[in-house]
């Protein structure tokens, strides 16, 4: 089905009990796009979120948050592979620069820990 919500977001995909569910694609008026799994009107499961600045997140979502294993990809090609907790990198992560350099990082609730 297709839905245009009160915020002007266009959703194309499946519904369950009149709520976004299973697989779908949503395009916001700002140009941000999410394509992936939904549950109860929320991004939930595996998906791809594309930001208006051409950054992208590919990975797991829970209740609309980046949550679980995923990769944040900057427009310049740099990548952060991390475990995400409520939209924040948490724990050991790998930074892969577009130049080919890699760096192991440790995050605590989104804060980079420089002393590990």
Residue-wise pLDDT tens digits, 47-106: 999 999 999 999 999 999 999 999 999 999 999 999 999 999 999 999 999 999 999 999
Token pair for 106: 């440790």
Q: Long-range contact list for 55-64, CB < 8 A, 24+ apart?
A: 59/84, 60/84, 61/36, 61/37
**Confidence band of 41 (pLDDT split at 50, 70, 90):** very high
């409520």: which residue's tokens?
86
According to the model, what pLDDT value does residue 114 have? 75
**Confidence band of 115 (pLDDT split at 50, 70, 90):** low
């Amino acid at each position: 089905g297709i839905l245009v919500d009160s915020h002007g977001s266009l959703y194309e995909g499946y519904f369950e009990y009149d709520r976004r569910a299973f697989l779908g694609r949503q395009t916001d008026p700002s140009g941000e796009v999410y394509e992936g799994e939904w549950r109860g009107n929320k991004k939930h499961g595996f998906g791809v979120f594309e930001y208006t600045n051409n950054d992208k997140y590919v990975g797991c979502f829970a209740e609309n948050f980046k949550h679980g294993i995923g990769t944040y990809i900057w427009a310049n090609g740099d990548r952060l592979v991390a475990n995400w907790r409520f939209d924040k990198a948490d724990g050991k992560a790998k930074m892969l620069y577009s130049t080919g350099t890699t760096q192991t990082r440790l995050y605590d609730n989104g804060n980079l820990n420089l002393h590990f």
